[in-house]
C-alpha cells in the first residue's frame, strides 16, 4: 500500500472520517434531518444529498436561513446542541457504527512506518470529532486531525488540508486526500493535492466521484495496494 503512495511522492494522507474511516451508515445525515425538523425548519429527504461531506453546522445554518433570514443566532447553537446529543446517543451505542475495516489500524501503522503521516479531517464539530477519536482509540494510529469548526470554512474549501499541510511543513503536491463524497474530492482538488482518491464506502457513487475529479476510486481505503 505504501509503495503506490511513495511512487507518487506522497508523504501525508488526509482522510475523511465518516464514510471513509468509520462506517456509520449515513447516520449523520439522518441526525441533521431530524434536528432541523424538530426545530420546525422542515427538511425533505432530497436535501440530504446536498449535505454530503460538508460542515454540519454550516449545513444547518444555511438551511435555517433559507427559511427564515431573520432568525435569532441562538437557534444555531440550539441546533448544534440537539445534533450532538442525537449523534452521541446513537454513535457510541450502536453496533452499526464501527471502523470501515478492522485492518484500518495496521493500515495506518504501516504507512507511518514508511514515513507517510496519516491525518483525519471532518465536517463534525471539533468536540464531537474528539469523542469519536477517543471512542475508537484512533490516536494510537493516526498522527493528527482537524475539524472544519477550526477553520474559516469547511468543504469543499481547502482550509482544513491547508492547515494540516502548514502544521507539518508538507507541500500540497505531496498530500493524498481520501474521501467518500463529492465535497471531499473537490476539497482535495481545491487544495491542489498530489492525489485525490475516492472511496465507495460512504455517500457518493463511482461516477459522481470521478465526475468531481477523483484520480482513483477504491471500494474502501484499506484496498489501496
pLDDT above 70 for 120: yes
Both 122 and 165 in a single domain?
A: yes
Residue 208 to residue 225: CA distance in whole angstroms? 23
Both 7 and 66 in a single domain?
A: no
- Name the burial class of residue 127, with classes exposed (0-12), middle (13-18) and buried (19+) by CB atoms within 10 angstroms of its CB: exposed
Which of 68, 91, 114 is where one domain is finished?
Answer: 91
How many domains does one find in the chain? 2
Both 86 and 125 in a single domain?
A: no
Q: What is the mean pLDDT of the chain?
A: 92
Residue 130 to residue 220: CA distance in whole angstroms? 23
pLDDT per position as a tens digit, 153-194:
999 999 999 999 999 999 999 999 999 999 999 999 999 999
Task: Report helix, strand or coil for 34.
Answer: helix
Both 114 and 76 in a single domain?
A: no
pLDDT per position as a tens digit, 16-27:
999 999 998 888
Residue 42 to residue 92: CA distance in whole angstroms? 27
Both 133 and 209 in a single domain?
A: yes
Both 184 and 112 in a single domain?
A: yes
Both 126 and 145 in a single domain?
A: yes
Can you tell me the mean pLDDT for 212-225? 94
Both 11 and 107 in a single domain?
A: yes
Both 41 and 123 in a single domain?
A: no
Both 114 and 153 in a single domain?
A: yes
Query: String of b and e for 48-79 (b: at least 16 CB within 10 Å)?
Result: beebbbbbbbbbbbebbeeeeeeeeeebbeeb
Per-residue pLDDT, 1:
56
Domain residues for 62?
27-91
Which of 42, 58, 91 is where one domain is finished?
Answer: 91
pLDDT per position as a tens digit, 124-136:
889 889 999 999 9
Which of 91, 116, 137 is where one domain is finished?
Answer: 91
Q: Give pTM, 2 decimals.
A: 0.86
Can you tell me the mean pLDDT for 139-143? 96
Both 15 and 47 in a single domain?
A: no
Both 50 and 77 in a single domain?
A: yes
Residue 210 is part of a domain; what is its CATH number?
3.40.50.1000
Amino acid at each position: 500500500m505504501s509503495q503506490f503512495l511513495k511512487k507518487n511522492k506522497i508523504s501525508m494522507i488526509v482522510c475523511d472520517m465518516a464514510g471513509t474511516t468509520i462506517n456509520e451508515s449515513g447516520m449523520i445525515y439522518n441526525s441533521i434531518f431530524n434536528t432541523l425538523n424538530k426545530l420546525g425548519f422542515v427538511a425533505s429527504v432530497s436535501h440530504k444529498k446536498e449535505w454530503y461531506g460538508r460542515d454540519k453546522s454550516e449545513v444547518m445554518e444555511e438551511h435555517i436561513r433559507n427559511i427564515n433570514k431573520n432568525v435569532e443566532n441562538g437557534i444555531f447553537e440550539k441546533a448544534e446542541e440537539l445534533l450532538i446529543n442525537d449523534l452521541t446517543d446513537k454513535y457510541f451505542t450502536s453496533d452499526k457504527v464501527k471502523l470501515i475495516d478492522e485492518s484500518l489500524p495496521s493500515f495506518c501503522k504501516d504507512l507511518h512506518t514508511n514515513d507517510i503521516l496519516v491525518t483525519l479531517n471532518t465536517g463534525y464539530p471539533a468536540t464531537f470529532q474528539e469523542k469519536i477519536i477517543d471512542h475508537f482509540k484512533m490516536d494510537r494510529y493516526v498522527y493528527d486531525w482537524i475539524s472544519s469548526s477550526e477553520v474559516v470554512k469547511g468543504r469543499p474549501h481547502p482550509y482544513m488540508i491547508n492547515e494540516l499541510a502548514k502544521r507539518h511543513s508538507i507541500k500540497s503536491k505531496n498530500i493524498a486526500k481520501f474521501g467518500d463524497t463529492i465535497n471531499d474530492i473537490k476539497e482535495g482538488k481545491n487544495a491542489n493535492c498530489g492525489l485525490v482518491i475516492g472511496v465507495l464506502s460512504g455517500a457518493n457513487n463511482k461516477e459522481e466521484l470521478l465526475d468531481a475529479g477523483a484520480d482513483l476510486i477504491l471500494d474502501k481505503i484499506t484496498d489501496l495496494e
